[in-house]
């Protein structure tokens, strides 16, 4: 029996490999960033080969740190969801760059499908909306824009997968073409109540069924890695989309429990148990996890830009050198300068779902500077989370009085977490293990291997680092929220005008 679980956390801007010991403690972290491609406005692409190399490099480093492949009881994979790869079955080579979840190029296709009356069926079967965010229209775009691709797909020569599926194919030397239920649920092709690919949706979106992977539980035997990759085979035993992995890592196993992850985007997930709730407030109904064949459902709110706004301050405006500076800068911002950022750089997600609007900043004066910009970027994350929580309370009234479990890179910033508690007017809990996405992937693999305990015992291991209690005066809170809603209205109206 080995001593570690290897978690591959393949994110939007970097790939990481983490070793977890038998107590679910992180023993090592290897990380490698990769290139972001923005060929046209609203387009976002990744080189899947570069992603594969970054995963290979970081995972090999982790295995070396563990003392070799025999020390690894299993591999768990978490991944950026919806990002779409189409590759040749014969060679394993992608036929086009990966189209990233943030990409907006298929907005007109989604609008045409909506005008044709298809959205009701899509939502009923998948729990999703017609939006470029999801994989289905991305697949069709590749098939329609790469010469000969559609005919090859019909002949069974091409395979589709989200990043987890592509990595599994590569790790197993092309022997396994499979995904898990949470990633399948984000394609807009999967009936989340029946737990199967849907023929009607395949026809609507123009996706050949021959391209699709097998769908398995989150904790399952996904196959062994090729021996040459790590020096000896290692079993892949867990897979989940990043937000579902974080839900597991935060031990949100009871209905009503809520987590929010602050990475490139922000994603709040509310466990609804056995009930697949049809949202009345433009949230997503999705699969939280599937273990032993049993599906647990969730409501999800998706924010496309969270930490990416801080990256914009650093890489675009170049007014900060390190993301960690923004909390201090925000605390030093002039209270009299009410700068509001609506970070719709790739459109607005839930509950607005406008793929065409673009970012805007309001309240600028001659005295507004880097500190006010930093505060605006961080507060935007808090306001967007409030929009999601408000929608969730409309769909799930029992949410009143909730506690939010927060994780992701931005959760390390005390200023942001305190402002989040103030804006939401609920306590915000930050766990001792903030690597919850990787932890969720590791737990699934360890559970399958018998290395980790069942869900109830794992939940008992969750530990609090700090609780942030709301403390802002209600008049100040109401004023800030009113300014945010006015800024969003102006941003949406500006596009419509």
Q: Where in the chain are the domains?
A: 4-242, 251-431+463-497
CA dist 366 → 97, 285, 338, 340, 369 (Å): 43, 45, 12, 15, 8
Residue 495 is predicted with a pLDDT of 58
What is the number of other CB atoms lying within 10 angstroms of the CB of residue 368? 17
For domain 251-431+463-497, give the fold.
Answer: Nucleotidyltransferase; domain 5 (3.30.420)
Q: Is the peptide bond prior to 351 cis by the omega test (within 30 degrees of 0)?
A: yes
Beta bridge partners of 14: 33
Burial letters for 74-98: b for 16+ Cβ neighbours within 10 Å, e otherwise?
bbbbbbbbbbbbbbeeeeeebbbbb
Spatial contact of 178 and 165, defined as CB atoms under 8 Å apart: yes
- Nearest to residue 288, comparing CAs of 333, 334, 256? 256
CA dihedral (187, 191, 193, 194) positive or negative: negative
Annotate 114-137 with b (16+ C-beta within 10 A) or e (fewer): eeeebbeebbebbbbbbbbbbbbb
Question: Is residue 222 helix, strand or coil?
Answer: coil
Quick one: 236 exposed, middle or buried, by C-beta within 10 A (0-12, 13-18, 19+)? buried
**What whole-number distance in Å separates Cα of residue 91 and Cα of residue 422?**
53
Q: In terms of Cα–Cα distance, which of 90, 83, 284, 74 is closest to 187?
A: 83
* H or E element that contains 237: strand 236-241
Question: How many residues comprise the chain?
Answer: 497
CA distance 284 to 252: 17
Token pair, residue 114, equals 């909506």
Phi, psi values for residue 49, rounded to 5°: -65, -40
The pTM score is: 0.88
Q: Identify which of 260, 247, 246, 297 has the alpha carbon closest to the alpha carbon of residue 276.
A: 297
Intrachain domains 4-242 and 251-431+463-497 with the same fold: yes
As a 3-state breakdown, the chain gives helix, strand, coil percent values, each rounded to 5, of 40, 25, 35
Give the C-alpha separation, 277 to 258, whole Å. Answer: 15
Query: Residues 8, 75: contact at Cβ < 8 Å?
Result: yes
Average pLDDT per consecutive 10 residues, the chain (497 residues; last block may be shorter): 92 94 92 93 94 97 95 96 96 96 92 95 94 95 97 96 97 97 97 96 96 97 96 97 94 92 88 91 93 95 86 88 88 90 86 85 89 93 93 77 85 94 95 90 96 94 94 94 93 69
Q: Which two tokens stand for residue 268?
A: 């709040």
Report the distance separating Cα 471 and Cα 422, nearest Å.
Answer: 6
- Tell me: the pLDDT tens digits for 64-87? 999 999 999 999 999 999 999 999
Homologous superfamily of 4-242: ATPase, nucleotide binding domain (3.30.420.40)
d(CA 11, CA 263): 9
Residue 261's DSSP bridge partners are 267, 407
The DSSP code sequence of 387-435 is: HHHHHHHHH-GGGTT--EEEESGGGG-HHHHHHHHHHHTS-EEEES---
Q: Distance (Å, rounded) from C-alpha 247 to C-alpha 260?
A: 8
Chain Cα centroid distance, residue 471? 30
CA distances 4 to 21, 26, 62, 173, 393, Å, are: 5, 10, 10, 23, 40
Dihedral sign for Cα 200, 205, 209, 215, please: negative
With CA atoms as reference, report the closest residue to 105 among 188, 36, 42, 162.
42
Distance CA 44, CA 104 (A): 8
* Distance (Å, whole) CA 348 – CA 344: 5
């Amino acid at each position: 029996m080995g001593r570690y679980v290897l978690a591959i956390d393949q994110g939007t801007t970097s790939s990481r490999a983490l070793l977890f010991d038998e107590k679910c403690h992180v023993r090592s972290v290897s990380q490698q960033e990769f290139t972001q491609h923005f060929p046209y406005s609203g387009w976002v692409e990744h080189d899947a080969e570069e992603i594969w190399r970054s995963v290979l490099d970081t995972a090999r480093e982790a295995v070396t740190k563990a003392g070799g492949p025999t020390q690894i009881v299993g591999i768990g994979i978490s991944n950026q969801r919806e990002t779409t790869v189409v590759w040749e079955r014969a060679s394993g080579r992608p036929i086009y760059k990966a189209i990233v979840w943030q990409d907006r190029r298929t907005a007109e296709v989604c609008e045409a499908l909506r005008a044709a009356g298809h959205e009701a069926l899509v939502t009923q079967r998948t729990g999703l909306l017609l939006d470029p965010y999801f994989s289905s229209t991305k697949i069709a775009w590749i098939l329609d824009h790469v010469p000969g691709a559609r005919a090859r797909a019909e002949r069974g020569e091409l395979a589709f997968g989200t990043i987890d599926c592509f990595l599994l194919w590569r790790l197993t030397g092309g022997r396994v073409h499979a995904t898990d239920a949470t990633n399948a649920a984000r394609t807009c092709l999967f009936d989340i109540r029946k737990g199967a690919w849907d023929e009607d949706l395949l026809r609507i979106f123009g996706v050949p069924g021959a391209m699709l992977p097998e769908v398995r539980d989150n904790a399952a035997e996904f196959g062994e890695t090729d021996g040459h990759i790590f020096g000896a085979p290692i079993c892949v035993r867990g897979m989940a989309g990043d937000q579902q992995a974080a839900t597991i890592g935060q031990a949100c196993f009871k209905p009503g429990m809520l987590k929010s992850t602050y990475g490139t985007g922000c994603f709040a997930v509310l466990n609804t148990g056995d009930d697949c709730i049809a949202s009345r407030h433009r949230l997503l109904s999705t699969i939280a996890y599937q273990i032993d064949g049993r599906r647990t459902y969730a409501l999800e709110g998706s924010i496309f830009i969270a930490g990416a706004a801080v990256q914009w301050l650093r890489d675009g405006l170049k007014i900060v050198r390190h993301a960690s500076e923004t909390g201090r800068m925000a605390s030093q911002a002039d209270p009299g300068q009410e700068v509001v950022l609506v970070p719709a750089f790739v459109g607005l997600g839930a509950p607005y779902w406008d793929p065409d609007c673009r970012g805007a900043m309001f309240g600028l004066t001659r005295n507004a500077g880097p500190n006010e910009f930093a505060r605006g970027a961080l507060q935007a994350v808090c306001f967007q989370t409030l929009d999601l929580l408000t929608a969730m309370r409309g769909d799930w009234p029992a949410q009143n009085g909730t506690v939010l479990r927060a994780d992701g890179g931005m959760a390390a910033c005390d200023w942001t977490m305190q402002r989040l508690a103030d804006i939401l007017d609920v306590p915000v809990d930050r766990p001792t293990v903030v690597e919850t996405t990787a932890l969720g992937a590791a737990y699934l693999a360890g559970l399958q291997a018998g290395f980790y305990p069942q869900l109830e015992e794992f939940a008992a291991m969750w530990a609090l680092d700090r609780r942030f209690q709301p403390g802002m005066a209600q008049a100040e809170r109401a004023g800030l929220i009113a300014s945010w809603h006015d800024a969003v209205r102006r941003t949406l109206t500006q596009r419509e005008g």
